[in-house]
Chain A
């Protein structure tokens, strides 16, 4: 079932949590709502689930108006960050809950409930824990039980609120992959909220980047990472070096592509660490910098440099590093391979690769 939200506005007192947000999620798609805390992503998810009222706008499920349908009638599966399992019920009873509270006419028989619950527990690979209580499980196990519980009622939409936020890195990575697989098997629309960009980029079909109550950019993980639409998305997704045009020096010109004509007002240039090359000898347009620190761990070598007390991060391949043999204190020159310039915070980005790069 597809989800559509239209022009949603939500205020908490004078604080605008969501400002005219519209979003469409087709069936079968796994969408990540990504943003810093307080950006409204959880509020949006709760509005879709019917747990939060909205001030303006509409929620449509499969094209049908659902704005004022109660949470319990929306048939959504919701997974909470802190699991929200029923403490006094065994794992089995937790998963069976959604089936047991159905109206008598629709309620499956005891045997059918048992089969359904056990098959779900098998699906989350925890059928051996059926008789345990939530307090006896680890965080990762609890979250899987919470997911099994949400799936028991065969929801048409699965909503997950920072589902892996309270888990440690190792478990988180495993559950991510597992969620992806599960989603592909279920053919439903899934939305999950996260503030972890790596998680969003790795799991989702589409990433919705939010900030201060509005959507900054929507797109595939590749789109949002390689072609950020706004300065915010640039900064939020991955490391980036920011050059303000007021920073005088060789790159000040670089930041003002020809024909821009806006002067040196508020324009900003963004360059990812792997998009900068380090040179041993001076060249036209190159920026002088001093090597501060070289970190050679893994396939990439991270180099931290300073230019007039501004820190610049560069990532080199191992081969390039071997060629250069950088040491802390070395004087070097930097050239960008690709630059993205925003003439102002609201302006369209202009991407260009300087032609003076080797």
Chain B
């Protein structure tokens, strides 16, 4: 029997869909489901008490606050780094380009120890910052921000980079001949084009920052109510064999993360589809060649 499914060029739709769903279930859904099932052993009131204890609340604030700050810092400076790496030719560009990935490869504990050594009040940088301005970085939430910014830096740079490469220089020139200032060109022409990718990078950096553990515990000082992140609190509970307490915290983190990521995804979907709402009707083939292949002397 011929089904009325649309014809596809590549066979194996059923197989690959089934595989994808099983894969996602095994790796993501079942473990997380187990987590929630475990927490269901508690009554709602007990759950609420554990989830909203003073120490837990402080740890959520620190975890999500520092993550948000780190992701925002990276959104701004990661964009600049990506821009510079794409648009400018300078000696050592490839070297710096490779450097961007380093935070991915480095064991996070190494990063944490290195940053702590640098920013502690006896460290190379810390002694000046603390000595000159009396500003403590290591063993405060600021230290967490520094560590998270370091660890999540590649996300923004690497998601934004290909999009910037795709922007034709001609678009900037067109804006200039129409009388736009540099700032207007950036704000009205370039940024809207990069925005969906920037949001993706931000979301990736943010979610990575929420889960980050290794680099933070060295620099944070882990003072309860001041610089203790939720993942550390979970470990602490586990070490005291408080399995259920750890589960509760994990579920809370899971829910908050999910809600945040979902809203970022919706925003991103909106940003990306705003100008593609209707079906393409005419001549999708004539999108034009990348215009920057055109030589200046042509």
Contacts and interface: CB of A to CB of B under 8 A. Distances in A.
Is the pairing of A and B real?
Answer: yes
B89 to A, nearest CB: 14
B132 interface: no
Contacts of B298: 37-38, 41-43
Contacts of B276: 133, 135
B176 interface: yes
A339 interface: no
B180 A97 contact: yes
Contacts of B295: 37-38
A77 interface: yes
A138 B283 contact: yes
A137 B168 CA distance: 18
Contacts of A42: 294, 296-298
Contacts of A248: none
A78 B173 contact: yes
Given A51-B173, A80-B174, A97-B175, A88 B192 contact: yes
Contact of A86 (B171, B177, B179, B294): B171
A153 B109 CA distance: 58
A243 interface: no
Interface in A135-172: 135-139, 141-142, 146, 149-150, 152-153, 166
B177 A71 contact: yes
Given A97-B178, A166-B289, A43 B297 contact: yes
Counting chain A CB atoms within 10 Å of each CB, the highest count among B280, B281, B283, B298 belongs to B298
Contacts of A87: 193, 275
Interface in A100-128: 100-102
B179 A101 contact: yes
Nearest to A86: B189
Contacts of B280: 135-136
Interface residues of B, number: 37
Nearest to A101: B180
Nearest to B177: A78
Interface string A15-45: 1010000000000000000000110111100
B16 interface: no
Given A101-B188, A136-B281, A139-B288, A153 B178 contact: yes
B288 A141 contact: no
Interface in A69-91: 70-78, 80-90
A52 interface: yes
Q: Chain A, interface size: which category?
A: 35 or more
Nearest to B282: A138
A71 B173 CA distance: 8
A71 B168 contact: no
A84 B174 contact: yes
Interface string B58-79: 0000000000000000000000
Contact of B287 (A43, A75, A97, A135): A135
A278 B283 CA distance: 48
B52 interface: no
Nearest to B167: A87
A22 B168 CA distance: 30
A138 B297 contact: no
Nearest to A166: B288
Contact of A139 (B180, B184, B283): B283
A11 B276 CA distance: 42
Contact of B178 (A40, A50, A149): A149
Given A81-B294, A84-B174, A138 B286 contact: yes
B180 A82 contact: no
Contacts of B294: 42, 81-82
Contact of B179 (A41, A136, A139, A153): A153
B283 A82 contact: no
20 contacts: A12-B296, A37-B295, A42-B294, A43-B298, A70-B176, A75-B179, A78-B174, A80-B291, A81-B291, A82-B288, A84-B171, A84-B291, A87-B275, A90-B275, A97-B175, A98-B179, A100-B188, A101-B178, A133-B275, A139-B288
Interface of A: 12, 15, 17, 37-38, 40-43, 46, 49-52, 70-78, 80-90, 97-98, 100-102, 132-133, 135-139, 141-142, 146, 149-150, 152-153, 166
3 tightest CB-CB pairs across the interface, nearest first? A98-B178, A82-B291, A139-B286
Given A42-B296, A72-B178, A87-B275, 9 more contacts: A12-B296, A80-B170, A84-B173, A84-B174, A98-B179, A101-B181, A136-B278, A139-B286, A152-B178
Interface of B: 168, 170-171, 173-181, 184, 188-189, 192-193, 274-276, 278, 280-284, 286-291, 294-298
